[in-house]
Homo-oligomer: A and B are copies of this chain.
Amino acid sequence: MNQPMSLPGTPPVSIQALKTSCSACSMHQLCLPMGLEDADINRLDQIIGRRRRLARDERLYQMGEPFGSLYAVRFGHFKTYQVNAAGEAQITGFQMAGELLGMDAISGTHHCDAVALEDSEVCEIPFSRLEELFGEVPALLRHFHRIMSQEITREQNVMLLLGNMRAEQRFAVFLVNLSARYAARGYSPTSFQLRMSREDIGNYLGLTIESISRLLSRFKKQGWIQVDKREVTLLDPAKLKAVAAGTDVCSPA
């Protein structure tokens, strides 16, 4: 139902036909081409490699693989996670349409795995070709730096969340953040589907699956949200924002 048409093993049409230009992509206001002039967008189009479809749970790249390309999410959702020596995983982020994957790998090899949370599609951006273009389109380079900088800031916000916040506040931050990102993409900020499992949410927020389940129940009981399976509706966004900001005291169980 929520999956985008068919997912053939081999492309049903020619590669050329599959190639949709950045200017025609609904995400071009959020993605790499943001703010570029038409002529420059076309140059970017030239270097975009094949688009790649991934089924649910399929891996885009893996820790240790040599770096070659960045990936822009066209549709669908991804999670990225690190695994340490002891085999424990930590989800470092959830990515949706218009967001860039693979920036941690520019140093040489991938430092995390990226896995599709649902049937998804990415644009492959060969980095060596992008580097060539940087010399010719300064605006592109500048925007690329902004994107990397924002990724650093995003991760610092997660550090703040994991280091300083209680479970309730973490979860509120999570919901408010999803809401804002869907809003930026033209979707409802108050009603959306969680594309990740409770376990993934818990891992990302430094909590257990049981804690997430309890938080969902508690938020529901408080009347802040409505939950049906993975469908969530924010009934009191202002309250959630206050809890997320920490300006609202925690409620007792």
Q: How far is the CA of A153 from the CA of B159 in the complex (A)?
A: 13
Instruction: Type the 1/0 row for A134-166, where 1 means its CB is closer than 8 Å to any CB of B.
Output: 110010011001101111110111111011100
Q: Does A105 contact B (CB under 8 A)?
A: yes
Inter-chain contact A150/B92, CB cutoff 8 Å: no
Give complex CA distance A157, B141 in Å: 27
- What's the number of copies of this chain in the assembled complex? 2
Residues of B near A111 (CB, < 8 A) are: 153, 156
Q: Given that A163-B90, A206-B164 are known contacts, is A104 also in contact with B156, CB under 8 Å in the complex?
A: yes
A134 to B106, CA, bound (A): 17
Stretch at the interface among A4-12, A79-87, A177-185, A215-223: A79-87
Contact at B135–A131, with CB atoms within 8 Å?
A: no
Does A246 contact B86, Cβ atoms closer than 8 Å?
yes
Tell which of B92, B104, B158 touches A149, judged by Cβ atoms closer than 8 Å. B104
CB contact under 8 A between A88 and B246, given known A141-B131, A155-B156: yes
Query: Smallest Cβ distance from A111 to chain B, in angstroms?
Result: 5
**A138-B131, A162-B162 known; A152-B86 Cβ under 8 A:** no
- Cα A161 to Cα B205 in complex, Å, equals 12
- A145 to B102 alpha-carbon distance, docked (Å): 12
Instruction: Flag whether A225 is at the interface (Cβ < 8 A).
Output: no
Q: In the complex, are the beta carbons of A148 and B106 less than 8 A apart?
A: yes
Give residues 87-121 of A contacting B (CB, 8 Å): 88-90, 92, 103-108, 111-112
Given A134-B134, A148-B148, list of 12 further CB < 8 A pairs?
Answer: A84-B160, A88-B160, A90-B156, A90-B160, A103-B149, A104-B156, A106-B145, A106-B149, A112-B156, A131-B141, A141-B141, A159-B159
